[in-house]
Structure 1
Amino acid sequence: MNSSKEQEEKLTTLINSMVDFVNFKDGEGRWIKANDFGLKLFQLENVDYHGKKDSELARYTDFYREALLHCESSDEQTWQNGKITRCEEEIPIPDGSTKYFDTIKVPLFNEDGTRKALVVIGRDITDKKIAEEQVRRSEKLSIVGELAASVGHEIRNPLTSIKGFLQLLKEQNKENNTYYDIMCKELNRIDHIVGELLLLAKPQKVFFSKNDLNIIVSDIVSLLEPQANMNNIRIRFEQKENVMIECEENLLKQLFINLIKNAIEASNEKGNVWVNINKNSNEDVFVTVEDEGLGISEEILTKLGEPFYSSKEKGTGLGLTVSSKIVEQHGGTISFYSKEGIGTKVEVHLPINSKKRR
């Protein structure tokens, strides 16, 4: 008896030392043994889980109810397969993030073929998934850069000639001014897209100097206020005390033009665009741009910043791609939060000292 208890204690010590989620279930799917990592993951630390199925444990946690019910159906699929199965599972976290697990399920059978036990081991691969996503985005950005380098200048040269001759024709023939204005507008749009492409074409040398972030943002707000007023939208920006930051002034101006302009275009008539600067410490500063527009769906939100992906009818997605690159060059991060029907918030986190760049 003592030997059996000693063996159980050794097993408990072993599985609790593992950084993976480990769970042993009987042939009916009832929990026999789970390590501390797994109990904490599903918020079951203070629950007597012994002899309970996932569906029964789901009653103890509203947040993980769906996840536990999915585990039970996934286990059944493993039993049906009759062999070791491997799958990737997503587990939501209360802070709004998601953890990804590479899960292996091993079914054990009695000699007569009846179900004996199920061993479940889940390895947290969240960091790996994030790294893979960063590599994927980097590769896409690299492809866009190569494309821009090869065709950007080739497009812009004839474009300049076309715009010149079109202006000349417009002056000579006043009857078709409406058509000329439309053509000029579309040519300027092409020119703008090419300009954004060329920004991604090759790494630019960035020269950092001390600037007042408050003045940079204030200048951009003043610049975009006429556009906002034309759409009956108010930009609400409260100037703060000096916020000195080591940065490339022109790049940050371009960043905030992109973000505030997007917020204006996304806003409903008579809406507000809120711009705030918050100094978190002597090392960090946050700039938020928030609108009261229609918001963005979760599916689109995860893809924001990718080139050629945009929620706008005529958008290219390059504006946010350029913005993300500028933030990256400054060693910061950019985050998007949105709810459909409520609005969107963009949060830019920048280190004050360039030496603190990530």
Structure 2
Amino acid sequence: MKSGDLDKRILESEERFRTLVECAPDAILVESEGNLVYLNPAGAKLLGAASPEQLAGKPLADFVHTDGPAPVKQQMQQGEAADWPTDRFEQKWVRLDRQAIDVEVRAIPINWSGRPAMQLVCKDVTDRKRAEQALLESETRLRSIINCFSDFVYFKDGAGRWLEANDLALQLFQLEGVSYSGKTSAELAGCSGMHEKFLLECDGSDELAWKSGRQVGMERRIVLPDGTLKLFDVSKVPIFHTNGSRNGLVVIGRDITEHKRTERILQDKRERYKSLFEHNPDIVCSFDLEGNFVSVNPAVEHITGYRPQDLLGRTAKIVIVPEDFARAKEHFAKAAQGEPQNFELAIIHKNGNCVDLNITYVPIVVHGDIVGVYAIAKDVTERKRVERALTEAEAMYRSLVEEAMIGVYIYQDGRFVYVNPRMAEIFGYTQEEMLQMDVLDLFAPEDQPLVARNIRRRMSGEVQSLRYQVRAVGKNGTQIDLEVHGALTVYNGRPAITGTYLDISERKQTEELLRESDKLAAVGQLAAGVAHEIRNPLTALKGFLQLLKTKTDANQDYFDIMLSELERINLIVNEFLVLAKPQVIHFEPKDVRLLLQNVIALLDTQAILNNVQIFTQFADDLPLVNCAENQLKQVFINILKNGIEAMPGGGHIEIQVKRRGRDQILIRFADQGCGIPEDRLSKLGEPFYTTKEKGTGLGLMVSHKIIEAHRGKISINSLVGKGTRVDVILPAAVGGSPR
């Protein structure tokens, strides 16, 4: 062949190749040394350029998305090393307008102008990727929906191959972990273990559904792994293409074991529904995006009283209580945007009763678009009734505990986890403070081992319930007598002790007063006996002394003194009888100052012998006091003698008399004696209790009794080393003139 003809044919061949490349629908790019040296029009369009010249010379790396798989350069290097076209791979590229696109690339090593280069054949697969993603999302939503059902559900294609199954179906047929998609029931039978026979029989019933062209229902017995026999109502619904060819098969199975058992008991042969929609015992319905009922299963009539035809084409507002409608509408709007919802609301039954429902909203997605909302509603009226009853019972119990007059507690892990207000009041703390305290810190140190031992006995289960008395210490340091009761229980899933604290301090004081009363009764009996024994010889002495006085005129003064002293002894014996029984006392208005002056004159000698000075301070406007003169003198003598004897080394006694309000008089005796310890003050006045070495305790007891008979009171305050102050308060005589 001539050289000219050869050149012509080469040029024609190059022209045909260039035309083919320029008109190719796929993008063709040539890269050399990292830069684009050629792009066909489809390549420029792929990258968002108006013409190939706009991109010539630009680095290819500028168009590769950084978040994509392995860079194009790496794939190209592998092709160059093998001197062979690479396999197709996908990359995410970025156009000039910064829009990200998915690209399928194949790299072919070539020579370009005498230099190694790589020809890239690219195809925009963005739409395909989006469609794949939409399909994946649709399948995910479908699985989410079918997993909401309490029935087993699976789908087959027109050739009988499994496409999708819910978790219950996989669990029931022991296909968990098995790659079932694309396999027939016969192929899966070998993977199913004890359900092989069931799966092998499926093809026959599938064919029956295909040939009938409609839903086919049947009952199947299935043995669970634990040997339990379950009866399932299985429905198979064939789906056909528009040309009549087979498209798919929906298989739905519901456990009707309990239902059948009930039917047998009631001998009520009720017709079974043949679709998932009609079988569900809960309300299953669908809505359009406007919220109107599109379909309603028969369960709605049982739960709401309305027939399905009463609701179709209408909104749920017809049944929802007004106060819940806005909330239901809000949940519906979210479901219509693709968010499944679960919530509870109340509806009004056709008979006027209120029914509580648990609602699940699931969006209906067709070809990636939400076209409506499925709703599944379960009647939870009984559960809500029980919950309300429990709430009311708990509120009533809490009210009872909170208002109880005894302390109620729950103990766990060394601390109180609950105390009622009365419990906090007993100790003087707030409820919050008690929850932070160590329990043992509330008790007297000597009783803490007892409390700790009893807690251990109950927590270990040695005893279930225990009651005992113990001494506690309040926040202000006062001692509290408690009766503790506790029993082992469970709180928040762990062992605890619940019980009560009863403040028995007042009861203890009452018991103490009863004991004091018994003492006084004994003292009264003793006093009556002693007085009787003294008065008999005293009468004889007085009689014989009066007889002797008439027999002689000598020493008459001595006789008068002895008779006076015998009269005084008789008076003291009469005072002693005050302890034995109530006596008629003659009250007369008297001036307390004169009584005190007589008593001071009587004891002045004893005071001088003990180096004690007595000072008086009498107010001028003192009213008279209705009193028994000798008894009141006895009280003043007892108080003054105690003061004198409390100062063996000498000192002062101050006596102050003044008004106390409008109708009382205060007589105050203050000495500089050794004082009385605080713990002994409360026992002063008890029979036979004394702070003196040779005392009997009767003097102050008699004084208290006399003042009480005068409707007054005695109070004693003392400081050790400082002295004692005795206040006697007496009511003023009615109409008594102040002096």
TM-score by length of 1: 0.71
Q: AA paired with 1:334?
A: I
Q: Deviations over 1:69-126 (max 9, x none)?
A: 67754531322454412215365695x9x66534222131559xx8512423223441
Find the partner of 1:293 among 673, 691, 694.
Answer: 673
What's the offset of the Cα at 1:243? 2.9
Find the partner of 1:85 among 440, 450, 467.
Answer: 467
CA distance in 1, matches of 2:395, 2:694: 64
Structure with bigger helix share is 1
Question: Alpha carbons of 1:307 and 1:124: their partners in 2 closer, same or farther (altered >3 Å)?
Answer: closer
Find the partner of 2:590 among 186, 211, 215.
Answer: 211
Question: Alpha carbons of 1:68 and 1:315: their partners in 2 closer, same or farther (altered >3 Å)?
Answer: closer
CA distance in 1, matches of 2:536, 2:420: 66
The answer to whether the aligner puts 1:19 opposite 2:399 as a matched pair is no
Corresponding position of 2:638: 258
Q: AA paired with 2:469?
A: C
Question: Alpha carbons of 1:225 and 1:290: their partners in 2 closer, same or farther (altered >3 Å)?
Answer: same
CA distance in 2, matches of 1:70, 1:23: 24
What's the offset of the Cα at 1:265? 0.7
CA distance in 1, matches of 2:575, 2:607: 23
Corresponding position of 2:690: 310
Question: Alpha carbons of 1:75 and 1:119: their partners in 2 closer, same or farther (altered >3 Å)?
Answer: farther
CA distance in 1, matches of 2:511, 2:434: 36
Q: AA paired with 2:403?
A: S
8 A contact 2:714–2:726 mirrored in 1: yes
- 5+ long unaligned stretches in structure 1: 59-64, 166-186
Question: Alpha carbons of 1:271 and 1:309: their partners in 2 closer, same or farther (altered >3 Å)?
Answer: same
What's the offset of the Cα at 1:226? 3.1
Corresponding position of 1:237: 616
Question: Alpha carbons of 1:39 and 1:232: their partners in 2 closer, same or farther (altered >3 Å)?
Answer: same
CA distance in 2, matches of 1:19, 1:68: 23
Corresponding position of 2:730: 350
What's the offset of the Cα at 1:258? 0.7
Find the partner of 2:452 among 53, 76, 88.
Answer: 76
CA distance in 1, matches of 2:717, 2:679: 12
The answer to whether the aligner puts 1:149 opposite 2:531 as a matched pair is no
Corresponding position of 2:606: 227
8 A contact 1:78–1:107 mirrored in 2: no
CA distance in 2, matches of 1:92, 1:228: 45
Corresponding position of 2:484: 104
**Which structure exhibits the higher relative contact order, with contacts defined as CA atoms closer than 8 Å and separated by 6 or more residues?**
1
Find the partner of 1:52 among 428, 437, 444.
Answer: 437
The answer to whether the aligner puts 1:319 opposite 2:695 as a matched pair is no
What's the offset of the Cα at 1:259? 0.8
What's the offset of the Cα at 1:161? 7.3
Question: Alpha carbons of 1:251 and 1:6: their partners in 2 closer, same or farther (altered >3 Å)?
Answer: same
What's the offset of the Cα at 1:146? 2.2
Q: Deviations over 1:220-248 (max 9, x none)?
A: 33433332222112223211133323222
TM-score by length of 2: 0.37
What's the offset of the Cα at 1:196? 5.4
8 A contact 2:466–2:487 mirrored in 1: yes
8 A contact 2:481–2:503 mirrored in 1: yes
What's the offset of the Cα at 1:255? 0.8
Q: Give aligned-pair identity as a percent.
A: 34
Task: Give 1 or 2 for the bigger CA radius of gyration.
Answer: 2
Q: AA paired with 1:341?
A: G
Corresponding position of 1:34: 419
Corresponding position of 2:502: 122
Question: Alpha carbons of 1:300 and 1:123: their partners in 2 closer, same or farther (altered >3 Å)?
Answer: closer
Question: Alpha carbons of 1:236 and 1:88: their partners in 2 closer, same or farther (altered >3 Å)?
Answer: farther
Question: Alpha carbons of 1:70 and 1:250: their partners in 2 closer, same or farther (altered >3 Å)?
Answer: same
Q: Deviations over 1:5-58 (max 9, x none)?
A: 9877655543342333x1414222312222333334433238544343236xx6
